[in-house]
Amino acid sequence: MDRLAKEERERAKLHPAATLSGDSLGREFEEQPDSWRTRFERDRDRIVHCSAFRRLMYKTQVFVNHVGDNLRTRMTHSLEVHQVSRSLASALDLNEPLCEAIALSHDLGHPPYGHAGEQILDRKMESAGGFSHNKQSQRVVEVLERRSPDYRGLNLTMEARDGLRKHEEGRNLKTGERARFPSIEAQLVDLADSTAYHYHDVDDGIREKILDPTAMAKDLPIWGMACEEAKRRHPGNKDDQLLWRRAANELLSLTIQDLLQESRRRLEESSPASPEEARNADQRMIGHSPEFRAMVADLHKYLYKHMYFREEVNWHVRRATDLLEHLFDALAADPSLAPARFHETADSPQRAVCDYLAGMTDRYVERKSREMGLLPG
């Protein structure tokens, strides 16, 4: 099926609130359309093939990258967000390739060592505009990646770039006027993101014996429901570890089911007739039911208390972020040590250093630190 046929199929089958590739406002640097791929499919493919995406393989999700081969990394997290986004978009008749593009690119700006690394860079950049991985993801796709001599960045469509602002208020892309919410696809990826990391952080936490699944079942109704469903489906199971892993999968399924049911209800109730109407509805079109949202909030708090701030997790992270801080100080003292390409796109020497560090993998921070004499060789 060629691009024009795909665009016609979108127009005929997708929800009226969905973003249509045939209605895209295009790219900053206009290019000849692809014969077979829609504009959003092309966005998705460019992201998968860019170097910033490949580096996510060696960036921390929760556990520092070298701790265990079976633990999630920033790349596997992005792939799981991509999978959840596709499932939701397909079920709700929204634009799958656009959701894929937003999901795969949403963490391209994450620095080494996860959110702890982000906090270090934000503190170091306090006098020069701060640092946010969300804004850095936009910077990666708009400025820092180089795939063509004709333009900087990946030259994604306006809709894909706008989707990276999923945590912010929306805007009408045609007029530039403020809207209440981001696009419906960006809303979907925002919740696919939290859905994926709650599931995989529970799974990794139990695997590493940081979380006690029996205690969790007493403290968290949402986990108790997942365990009961796992037991119901596998009444003869005698392997507790397999049961907990199955319960983690049930947690994911329960979360997706609630998202689908509540989002369908909102779409039917509000009946947005266009993407613009969805951006300006009384509430977000994608969301959890009030009861389930409260249970998800309790799970989020529980993970912070019993996992993210646990010493077994944090001592690795503290050592790593100390290294990142020392490397920032060393490079800031002589910004010329950052490659010239970062100075070409930065508004200050500090920003050039920050862009350089934010793009590093966990292991490259150690390698560079050794090269600069900050670690013993």
Q: CA-based angle 80:56:95, to the nearest 5?
A: 45
Task: Say if 359 falls within a structural domain.
Answer: yes
Task: Say if 212 falls within a structural domain.
Answer: yes
Task: Say if 376 falls within a structural domain.
Answer: no
pLDDT for the residue 166: 66
Task: Say if 105 falls within a structural domain.
Answer: yes
Task: Say if 263 falls within a structural domain.
Answer: yes
Find where tokens 């999901």 sit. Answer: 103
Number of domains the chain is built from: 1
pTM of the predicted model as reported, rounded to 2 decimal places: 0.95
Reported as half-sphere exposure (CB side, CA atoms, 13 A), residue 238 has a value of: 0
- 140 and 109 in contact (C-beta within 8 Å)? yes
pLDDT at 87 over 90: yes
Confidence of residue 313 (pLDDT cuts 50, 70, 90): confident
Task: Say if 277 falls within a structural domain.
Answer: yes
Which domain CATH number covers 252?
1.10.3210.10
**Which has more pLDDT, 310 or 253?**
253
- 361 and 327 in contact (C-beta within 8 Å)? no
Task: Say if 377 falls within a structural domain.
Answer: no
- Tell me how crowded residue 107 is: count the other CB atoms within 10 A of its CB: 25
Task: Say if 108 falls within a structural domain.
Answer: yes
Confidence of residue 65 (pLDDT cuts 50, 70, 90): low
Backbone angles phi, psi at 171, to 5 degrees: -155, 150
Tell me the pLDDT of the chain averaged across its residues.
93
List pLDDT tens digits, range 154-175: 999 999 999 998 666 667 777 7
Range from 26-35, 305-314, 368-377 that averages highest in pLDDT = 26-35
pLDDT for the residue 377: 63
Residue 115: CB partners within 8 Å, gap ≥ 6? 133
Mean pLDDT to the nearest integer, 261-267 = 98
- Structural domain boundaries enclosing 262: 3-371
